[in-house]
Amino acid sequence: MRKYIFVTGGVCSSLGKGIAASSLGSLLESRGLSVCMIKIDPYLNVDAGTMSPYQHGEVFVTDDGAETDLDLGNYARFTASPLSAANSITTGQVYQEVIRKERKGDYLGKCVQVVPHITDEIKRRIYSPGEKEGTDVTIVEIGGTVGDIESIPFLEAVRQIIHERSRRHAISVHVSLIPTVSSGELKTKPTQHSVKTLREIGIQPEVLLCRIATEMDDAMKRKIANFTNIDYECVLSAHDVKTTIYEIPVVYRAQGLDRVVCDRLGMDCKEDKFRAWHRISETWKSSVEVVEVAMVGKYIELDDSYKSIDESLVHGAISNGVRINIRKIDSESLTTPEKTVEALAGVHGLLIPGGFGERGIPGMIAASRVAREGKLPFLGICLGMQIQVIEWARHIAGIPEANSGEFTPDGPSNVIALLEEQVDVTQYGGTMRLGLSESVVIEGTLIHSAYGTINIRERHRHRYEVNNKYRDELENSGLIFSAFTPDDLLVESTEWPSHPWSVGVQFHPEFTSSPLKAGPLFREFIAAAVDKMRKAG
């Protein structure tokens, strides 16, 4: 029988449940097991696609075009779990499907209720992805905090699954906070109450991961075990690390998390392929050089807004044997050429990420110009590529009013235009160009050198593109179009001529990068930045 692990959080949100679930997945994979990762988000939105980055962080896009929670990005970076729309469950999806069935008449004559109809739909969605042949363990992360009103139906479904499958086949892993009060004392009471709340719902955690500033001592572990009815060996310290999040699996491994889980679920886990995670951790710790790159974006205030890009830059640094410092700059602050030059002083590369809306665009254009004229390694992603085109058009191609149709719908020189299939779109959710698609790369270009192949496949999430009416004019002025869709209708990549390293891409390469295999563009971008750093002395 397949095994199920349910990861919940207590005391407060943002404890790192996603990293904990992902780390557990990587540990089990190192033991030769196949895992399936699922994220449950209790919000009523059908997906994360229409939410502001300030509300929910970045939107992670899967191959099939699902717009999901950023934790699926963690799953992708830590595990080999296949990810699709089926691996992301929301309250909106569940209720939408139950109501659809009710209108169709599937429940004819019945009073449709949370139990059993909503919980049955939740269970169906949990079982479905993990029932595929070859899957050993399904790890389900439940968003929010135990006690939230929104998560009650999901926790009830989890209780039923554990009861039906037995605790030999389905277990609960709870992540809770050990806060430090003003006196400096660590307090276990919030965790005790969090576990108590979960037990009142009918779920007894088998494993407790305690988020704490420093490693727990033996006395604290025994106290927590005693008050929560959890075995001592199953109370683990989820303390802060000083390197990267990729050391967290190493921390859990040292405490025997994989052994504990395998024992509880009766799984034979003899393989050990964990050495790669040790290498990542040691590479970061042993690196002496620190390369600094600037990210000029619109949502800088919240780190999670660019989570996959942040991590992909770390992957690029690890693959080049260096550490990285990311200097995040709010594009709205770049109001003059002098401020832009000052903000970028001393960095070894510039990245402009994706985004929506006209706020902060002048600052991005100014930063792009500094990178082009200053021979600063440049990587533009989605909107970042469009900014690269607009800046070139204004200052090199002789199109001073060049802009995007997103910012000036009736502008006279929109070198960036709405995709044709988007013209008649009347709703926002799930309507962009989304998911995995192929691009054809021009030989001899920087992007061809990075990927080493002509045909590449990456994920997209955008509504606007390079306006084909200006393609000849831009190319004649020297701008390099280095990749296209197979039908040659859409520009997928741009580069500056006579520049050490500059690539703009319409797709999102950050969604396929991992610490074990850095995305080609991030690897080469950081390599160029390291080269600049070393030449500067």
Query: What integer is the mean pLDDT of 90-98?
Result: 96
Query: What integer is the mean pLDDT of 450-473?
Result: 95
Is it the case that residue 59 has pLDDT exceeding 70? yes
pLDDT at 274: 83
Listing DSSP states for 164-204 in one string gives HH-TTTEEEEEEEE--B-TTS-B--HHHHHHHHHHHHHT--
Around 392, how many Cα atoms within 13 Å sit in the side-chain half-sphere? 27
pLDDT at 243: 85
CA dihedral (78, 79, 80, 82) in degrees, to 10, reads -100
pLDDT at 276: 84
Give per-residue pLDDT as tens, 373-387. Answer: 999 999 999 999 999
Query: What integer is the mean pLDDT of 453-459?
Result: 97
Is it the case that residue 425 has pLDDT exceeding 70? no
Return the closest-CA partner of residue 364 out of 395, 390, 346: 390
Residue 420 sits at φ, ψ, to 5 deg, of -60, -40
The count of other CB atoms within 10 Å of the CB of residue 84 is 15
Is it the case that residue 293 has pLDDT exceeding 80? yes
| Band (428; pLDDT cuts 50, 70, 90) | low
> What is the pTM for the complete model shown?
0.94
Query: What integer is the mean pLDDT of 161-166?
Result: 95
Angle ∠(531,532,537) on CA atoms, nearest 5: 100
Share of the chain above pLDDT 70, in %: 98
The answer to whether the beta carbons of residues 41 and 281 sit under 8 Å apart is no
Residue 36 annotated to the active site:
no
Query: What integer is the mean pLDDT of 111-133?
Result: 92
Residue 210 annotated to the active site:
no
pLDDT at 427: 66
CA distances from 30 to 24, 140, 222, 512 (A): 10, 19, 29, 20
pLDDT at 106: 94
Residue 491 sits at φ, ψ, to 5 deg, of -80, 130
Is it the case that residue 424 has pLDDT exceeding 70? no
The count of other CB atoms within 10 Å of the CB of residue 427 is 7
CA distance 436 to 338: 40
Residue with tokens 């660019």: 306
Give per-residue pLDDT as tens, 351-376. Answer: 999 998 899 999 999 999 999 999 99
pLDDT at 180: 87
Of 440 and 52, the one with more pLDDT = 440
For residue 221 the two structure tokens come to 């572990």
CA distance 440 to 274: 36
Q: Which of 56, 174, 460, 508 is catalytic?
A: 508
Mean pLDDT estimate for the chain: 93
66 burial level (CB within 10 Å; 0-12, 13-18, 19+): buried
Residue 239 annotated to the active site:
no
Is it the case that residue 52 has pLDDT exceeding 90? no
pLDDT at 421: 67
- Indicate the residue type of 405: G
Give per-residue pLDDT as tens, 513-534. Answer: 999 999 999 999 999 999 999 9
Min mean pLDDT across 46-50, 359-363, 392-396 is at 46-50
Query: What integer is the mean pLDDT of 60-89?
Result: 95
Residue 230 sits at φ, ψ, to 5 deg, of -115, 135
Q: Which of 382, 465, 492, 524 is catalytic?
A: 382
Of 276 and 248, the one with more pLDDT = 248
pLDDT at 329: 97
For residue 529 the two structure tokens come to 């930045």
Is it the case that residue 318 has pLDDT exceeding 70? yes
Query: What integer is the mean pLDDT of 212-234?
Result: 93
Q: Which of 465, 495, 510, 524 is catalytic?
A: 510
Share of the chain above pLDDT 90, in %: 80
Structural domains in the chain, sorted by start: 3-90+137-280 (3.40.50.300), 287-536 (3.40.50.880)
